[in-house]
Amino acid sequence: MRSDQMKKGHERAPHRALFKAMGYTDEEIRRPLVGVVNAKNEIIPGHVHLDIIASDVKAGIRLAGGTPVEFPVIGVCDGIAMGHQGMKYSLASRELIADSIEVMVMAHPFDALVFIPNCDKIVPGMLMAALRLNIPSVFVSGGPMLAGKMKNQAVDLISCFEGVAAVKAGRMTQKDLSLLEDSACPGCGSCAGMFTANSMNCLTEAIGLALSGNGTIPAVHAARRRLAKQTGMKIMELLEKDIRPRQIVTEKAFANAITVDIALGCSTNTVLHLPAIAYEGGIHLELDIFNALSARTPNLCRLSPAGPHHLEDLDQAGGIPALMRELARKGLLHPDVMTVTGKNLGDNLKTAPDIDGQVVRSLDAPYSREGGIAILWGNIAPDGAVVKQSAVAEDMLVHKGPARVFDGEDDAIAAILGGKIKPGDVVVIRYEGPQGGPGMREMLGPTSAIAGMGLDKTVALLTDGRFSGGTRGAAIGHISPEAADGGTIAFLTDGDTILIDIPHKSLKVEIDEHTWEKRKKAVRLRPPQELTGYLARYARMVSSASTGAVFKKEK
């Protein structure tokens, strides 16, 4: 066993003494030691209950003959960090999470790991660590929040964000906003729509590193606790069979996960995280794979913000197994990949339920013949940009309009809420990329303001930053190269004609070459910010969004 390095033999008597200081018995020390990586804290609604999940995981480990050893990791609540300097730290926390787990697991050689994430950057950070460390591992999340109810309608966190702008526009009363604030988030769990957290938890299941139900069983259901116990027992089986993450997470497994991503209409943040996770496993994911798979994969599911349904509805409709069984029906998945069940995907799907035809539509009657995410290319984004096309109004799939350019999110929000953005405009927010932000802030504030002002079907937004999974409308992010790196977006000016053609995967500015070259010589890039601490190191080390915003390789 790997843990023998710190516990076996007479020379490890001091090490065992330290275990005994914590109350471990000789029998517990002799058993396999399973690290339980718990992201529990009291600042994220999706994580506030993870002590219960961890307790159940540990019960399952003990039932199967192992000794659980719990340790924590940090986490940022993107909703609470939204709209202020805190959002600069959200994406940046992903690398710290992966690094801190590596430190704990290398300093204390556990035999296997159970990861307990739930929200935003914690899920991909843990997945990166699992691929990097490559010891037997399995995931179980804390589960999604139930949707709230207000005046007999389902509501969620995004309803609240959009309500702020609706009050400003006179489309909602302050009294109703207060009622919405009390109703939108009824309890623990990751926010109820197909936002980043739930997208990543569903894809963890789809890629084969979590048991069925991981992405969809609501946080407050007893089935979530049973899943945690089953996960604790399952890790002992994986350890016995020596099944490791890199045997499961192969190129075919990534293709399966991206296919599910596209069919579900997941958050655009998955385009940032999946390449970063692949990088840790020695796999290079080109952005083109999203368009290639999207071209053959229909969009079968539209959860909030793209549609009226929430994660609890997807769970009742059969969850990820039902969706994958439907995709497999026409050969859209690789059935021969290994999963943490110890069986391949094809065997797992033999017992999966059928789709309901409503929350999850059939391949014969999809929402659209093409998938939910698209990568756009053109002179604004030579290295690519990302849009959640399933959440774009049909009239905005092709759009031509004048640029309204802002060097940062705050000025853009002020202009939107101040009524200075008109139908047909294209809002451009730059210097918000991984390096220039730094930290690539989510633009939920501007997109919610656009939606709340009733402009989401007439106004587009472009940024080298990124979007919350709760964003809807013609919101195009991850524009690469970013402004701070001398990308085209740095040289756009008010009034430039922007051409958006999502069906043809095109994003361009209409300008002649002579004018363009003249402007590039005249315009000076914004000087780098004076930064200290972790953000300064992050800005120096981070790579482009087009490569997953991973840290650059040291020379």
Q: Write out the catalytic residue numbers.
A: 468
Q: What is the DSSP letter of 209?
A: S
Q: Are residues 67 and 34 in contact, defined by beta-carbon separation less than 8 angstroms?
A: yes
Q: Are residues 265 and 390 in contact, defined by beta-carbon separation less than 8 angstroms?
A: yes
H-helix or E-strand containing 400? strand 398-406
The DSSP string of 126-183 is: HHHHHHHH-SSEEE----BPPPEEETTEEE-HHHHHHHHHHHHTTSS-HHHHHHHHHH
Coil, strand, or helix at residue 510?
Answer: strand
The CA-atom distances, in angstroms, between 48 and each of 80, 219, 345 are 14, 11, 32
CA distance 66 to 135: 15
CA distance 385 to 372: 14
CB neighbour burial string for 471-504, b if at least 16 within 10 angstroms, e if fewer: bbbbbbbbbbbbbbbebbbbbbeeebebbbebee
What's at 546, amino acid-wise? S
| Cross-strand bridge partners of residue 476 | 387, 462
Q: Which residues contact 148 (CB under 8 A, 6 or more apart)?
A: 154, 155, 156, 159, 183, 184, 185, 186, 192
Q: What is the DSSP letter of 546?
A: G
Q: Which residues contact 85 (CB under 8 A, 6 or more apart)?
A: none
Q: Are residues 456 and 450 in contact, defined by beta-carbon separation less than 8 angstroms?
A: yes
